[in-house]
Amino acid sequence: MATDERRVRLFRNGRNQALRIPREFELEGDEAIIRKEGDRLIVEPVRKGRLLATLAPLEEPFPDIDEDLPPLDDVTL
């Protein structure tokens, strides 16, 4: 068995199947994403604040939202 593998036991936690994650495989944070690829389960930590980095850049320019507003010198309170 490779050093990045370890045999673990499955057990029941209520109606869910669970496994204990050995210390050397612990994930950061308190949430994870799990998905199934064929007969494999892939578990990844949820990385907070990384959503914007995964989005493609916008091709269109942002509209000028100040276009129809009077100049600041003309505004009275």
Taking only the tens place, the pLDDT of each residue in 16-61 is 999 999 999 999 888 999 999 999 999 999 877 767 777 888 888 8
Contact 11, 21 (CB under 8 A): no
Count of the separate structural domains present in the chain = 1
Say what the pLDDT of residue 75 is.
Answer: 63
Residue 76 maps to a domain: no
Say what the pLDDT of residue 35 is.
Answer: 95
Residue 77 maps to a domain: no
Residue 63 maps to a domain: no
CA angle 66, 70, 75 (to 5 degrees): 120
Confidence of residue 65 (pLDDT cuts 50, 70, 90): confident
Say what the pLDDT of residue 8 is.
Answer: 92
- pTM for the model stands at 0.52
Structure-derived torsion over alpha carbons of residues 59, 61, 63, 67, reported in degrees to the nearest 10:
-170
